[in-house]
Structure 1
Amino acid sequence: MTQAMAAPQSDRPGGPELLVADPDHGLTELAAQGITVVRAVDGPGALLRIGACPPDVLLVSARLPGIDPVTLIESVRRSLATLPIILGTGPEDAELAMRALAAGATACVARPYRCKELLTLIHATHIPGSLPLLRVGDIELDQDAHVVRVAGAAVHVPLREYELLRYLMRNAGRVVTKHEITRKVWRSEGKPPNNTIVVHVKRLRRRLGDDERHPAILLTVRGIGYRITAGDPPRSNGT
């Protein structure tokens, strides 16, 4: 099986995370509508944030300093093929909007932003209930049915381990840091209890049939975090 890359979708019950790459608009009023707003004031900052912890939706200003917005969109699309990207444009940005859409932008919205219009676009591009099937090697995760299969056989995975596996699979091919797992899976800005993540990873390996001492699927990157790979065919489905 080939590895499927998909843009991360929200792990928060309150709604998606919006990264606003715009020096002039924080859009903090969206928080009252269940949107978690994170801000980057320039292109390099936006790319760093996306690389470290991808958002659910990206809003990019046509006036973004540091990196041309079309270049930023092209760069994001190389690793996140389905991340919803909204370009904020003014009356003078018609040509740039056309190039941005050709580069992979999902939609355009008028700038200065109107909260109601932007909220409609966010919900239209971030659609729960029609989530992609995730596959990494012989592991398949059906996000709509909430089912995990290993080599075609359903495996029982408790909720927290399911959320951890889902986040790792959504970010397959890159190292996910422990801090990122704490934010996205445990939904906390602090630190989880000692060894909590380690214990859940150990249990998850057992359920996936991965070797706990010499894992080939759920790899530990010492001092940083974890990375999921296609690995070797699982030896058992676990219980």
Structure 2
Amino acid sequence: MDQPHMASLADVPQRSAPILLVADPDTKIVKELATALEAEGVEVTGAFDGASALLQVGALRPDVVLVSSTLTVINAVDFVRAVRLAQGVPVLLGIGEGHAEQAVRALDAGATACVARPYRVPELLPLVQGAVAGDLRRDRAVLTIGNVELDITAYQVRVGGMLVHLPLREFELLHFLMRNADRTVTREQIMRHVWHSDDTMSTNTIAVHVKRLRARLRDDEDRLIQTVRGVGYRLVTPQRTAPDRAPSD
């Protein structure tokens, strides 16, 4: 991907599309994301380490920055802190497995929201558009079932008002189950929507993650997340008596 020239603020032209700066050391991810988002009317430029990304923030004045938790030279948390202090530009953090603690620190440093990495355009695009519009914080999506509260944009879960740190995969599993509350979802649907895989031979992995998720949610008697033997799982709304519904994809 071509790198933009260094420019003064006076050189920055009037924009017909919002500019997203993607700070990510993986050039393939940046190029694929640029192709997908530019088709949606978002202009994308890339930086492949924290130092060059900071220079581009100052030169380009992007509307939104997407920074990977794997950023080098300047780490993602320090990058977020520097951008928010100096520019006030909305910063989205891309996080993968094992980076949940870093996500919490980045949010404390001023990140606007977190998004799963590798990136998926249907998930990322609304966050970019919301950040550009300036209403992402005001219109935060929160799902609440019983004493479990899941904040989608902040990647946070609270149980009985207490913050519970979930690894990314368990967060996405809980999100999928809560979106389909009181519906039975099959193991195949979970593999497709949470693991983004059609490998039905790996469904034992789901059982392990469900067990861990139940423990973190203090669901000791499996009342919240029920096993539907031979089929999959169902997250049950407390005191619900209506019949099971078909899951939504």
For this structure pair, what is the TM-score category when the shorter chain's length is used for normalisation?
0.3 to 0.5
Greater relative contact order (Cα < 8 A, sep 6+):
1
- Give the TM-score taking structure 1 as reference length: 0.47
